A and B are shown apart, each in its own frame.
Chain A
Amino acid sequence: MIKDFSRQSLAALRMLLVLTLLLGVVYPVAVWAAGQAFGARAEGQPVEVDGAVVGSRLLGQQFEGDAWFHSRPSANDHDSLASAPSNLGPSSTDLLALIDERRATVAATEGVDEGDVPPDAVTASGSGLDPHISPAYAALQAPRVAEANGLELSVVADLVEEHTDGRSLGFLGEPGVNVLELNVAVLEETRR
């Protein structure tokens, strides 16, 4: 039994080394090579402004102040080296207090009733890096952003529409407004 075990373990070690070479080196490098066909799509889809990378269209960012559309609350302050949800439970008093606080803040910032604040504006996302907000939350913010940037509301509303990602293939997932791309579009609009 022990002799068998040591003999088999030697085979196991050799097998693992062979598999490591094939599955741990050749496979990921081959996938990377195939990924070159997709260009920036497989490289995190960087977004550039004035020739400098200012983010990824897939990673949510922190925005504050009236001139920007704000992202959803993030449990990790949009730190891409520590992606995380809040993990607060469904009956957590801490979470209930946070929701109340966020609701009051958003209502005050946007100058609307607390009842008009959509769910995604008062809840932290699963990754802390959610690149989207709901179309309802974008619509809520549009008047403030338009005024702060001296733009017509209709112009900003068109930009929101333009940067809304629909469901994949029309039925997979839910629509969301890409906050970074929308803010870049707003910035470019103000420079015209």
Chain B
Amino acid sequence: MSDTLAGLVSIAALVALLALAYRPLGDYMAAVYSSDRHLRAERLVYRLTGVDPRAEQSARSYAVSVVGFSLVGVVLLMAMQLAQAHLPFSRDLPGVPFWMSFNTAASFVANTNWQSYAGESTLGFTVQMAGLAVQNFASAAVGMAVAVALIRGFTRARTGNLGNFWVDLTRGTLRILLPIAAVGAVLLMAGGVVQTFSDTPMDTLAGHGQVLTGGPVASQEAIKELGTNGGGFFNSNSAHPFENPNGYTNLLEVLLILLIPVCLTRTLGTLVGNRRQGLAVLAAMGVLFAVSLAAVTAAEVGARSQAAQAAGAAMEGKETRFGEWASALFAVATTGTSTGAVNASHDSLTPTGGGMVLLNMMFGEVTPGGVGSGVYGMLVLAIVAVFIAGLMVGRTPEFLGKKIGARQMTYVATYMLVTPALVLVGTGVAIALGSTSDALGNPGGHGFSEVLYAYTSGANNNGSAFGGITVTSDFFQITIGLAMLLGRLVPIVLVLLLAGSLAEQGRVPTTAGTLPTHKPVFVTLLVGVVVVFTALTYFPALSLGPIAEALA
């Protein structure tokens, strides 16, 4: 079988598997969040945590819960890292430096999983599995809870209440993430992903020293992909043969990455009582994903860079068992969602490939986006789209039976400004500092791209990197750490306030004058809004980095 045919069949297989899961998983998730029943295990959790599962929360109270849960998570995770030397299974490693522990804690709580450390040389097994992996679950469950709260804003009328955060968090974790992650971990081990609790030093065949590194990798790998987290157990992430040993595990990991973000659009359609609305949102995501995949694949397979031409193929930073096709698919899936796991070096991608994955993050992580964050991000963009359409025809915009007024647009406009401000201000300040040039792994325009990529990845909660840049200085640890936390929590608070303001309204009846938001015309408009908004925001920055490099 030729590489091209194998690559195309792999993509077709991925699409088929997602299509198979779409209805059952999407409807199951809708049922999880709208059920009145509590499982026995859940009742135990509520008793242990002192939560009243029947209590409804206002938008404000829901937001306080999310922010409180996140900040407590940061503190707890920092404490574990700082105290690492005293924890069991720590491989004799010392405590993590203070600002690195802050950056890492912020990163995992914010579902970003930016990594300024190298897992195998910095962290013991306890911090990895009882610290980082726990936040892999929790941060993903938070994202889904916020998406569901926004959907409730549309489906509920004349109430200030959005549900109960603790119930949504517990259900998302116990009924959705944990069962799928457990199955995923077993399927990954079947493919050769390791799950041990020890390292084995040895002499290699040619007499060099090497350590057969172990660790609870499979359990962490499954949730790392499923929760669109992306923090690798090892420094080289899913390029490492123990995290991703072959083509089968690679496709499984891409499937886990896309599974929940894609199926949540069905959940959306089911909950709002219009499944075509879910499909319309998915279509907008899918169009952007497909264009991106085509561009990255063409650039990588076509060896469109100086280095690739010199070597004969774009194999720098890629693994033999994946080649260009599977590396391009992984790169687009991981940046189109807010995952940030990598199975190849993004820094060494061709200029078009690297620029495209950067653009995927700049879209705001909506193609199809992170677990939960993709859906709420795309719904916010959909509101912008109906607003623009409303301006064109001179009608008060409506979306899913709710009026979009000044209050809603204030939340939406602020949401749209937060992440770009964090990215561009962060990049600008970093570039203005003389010390930054010493931190770059590559000179010139590509070095600029490394900085732009870092802040784009942090503020959009992706977590992948143009890894040549050294980000262990206090400046980068603190500023990227803040970009991740603010890029996560500020949009979430705005989404919840938006949801609350929608839930307070009554429903407006659909009339002949209502813009249908489940038809191809609207999908086109939505895609246009995403592209135009991103282009207007980032074109100057992009032209200094990847565009300049591609034209050189």
- Where the two chains meet, the residues of A that have a C-beta atom closer than 8 Å to any C-beta of B are 1, 4-5, 8-16, 18-20, 22-25, 27-28, 30-32, 34-35, 38, 41-47, 49, 52-56, 58-65, 68, 72, 78-92, 95-96, 99-100, 117-120, 122-134, 165, 167-174, 176, 180, 183-184, 187
Contact = CB atoms under 8 A, between A and B. Distances in A.
Contacts of A129: 236, 240-241
A14 B50 contact: yes
A165 to B, nearest CB: 7
Given A5-B67, A56-B241, 19 more contacts: A9-B68, A12-B71, A12-B72, A16-B134, A19-B173, A20-B131, A23-B138, A41-B192, A43-B194, A46-B200, A61-B208, A84-B118, A89-B347, A92-B446, A127-B240, A127-B319, A129-B241, A171-B1, A172-B248
A118 B205 CA distance: 25
Interface stretch (B152-160, B212-220, B370-378): B212-220
Given A80-B120, A87-B466, A88-B468, A16 B72 contact: yes
Interface residues of B, number: 123
A113 B240 CA distance: 32
Contacts of B236: 83-85, 126-129
Contact of A31 (B216, B235, B327): B216
Contact of A184 (B190, B205, B220): B205
B130 A119 contact: no
Contact of B208 (A15, A30, A78, A130): A78
Interface string B202-213: 111110101111
Contacts of B67: 5
B472 interface: no
Contacts of A5: 64, 67-68
B250 A85 contact: no
A118 B320 CA distance: 12
Given A28-B220, A42-B218, A80 B210 contact: yes
Interface string B237-271: 00111100111111100000000000000000000
A121 B227 CA distance: 36
Nearest to A26: B178
Contacts of A59: 210, 212, 241-242
B169 interface: yes
25 contacts: A18-B45, A19-B137, A22-B178, A24-B134, A41-B189, A44-B194, A46-B200, A61-B210, A72-B320, A81-B120, A85-B344, A86-B348, A87-B347, A88-B317, A88-B442, A90-B350, A91-B446, A125-B239, A126-B342, A132-B319, A168-B247, A171-B1, A171-B13, A172-B6, A173-B326
B200 A53 contact: yes
Nearest to B327: A126
A53 B202 contact: yes
A183 B206 CA distance: 10
A90 B552 contact: no
B219 A12 contact: no
A117 B304 CA distance: 19
A4 B186 contact: no
B345 interface: yes
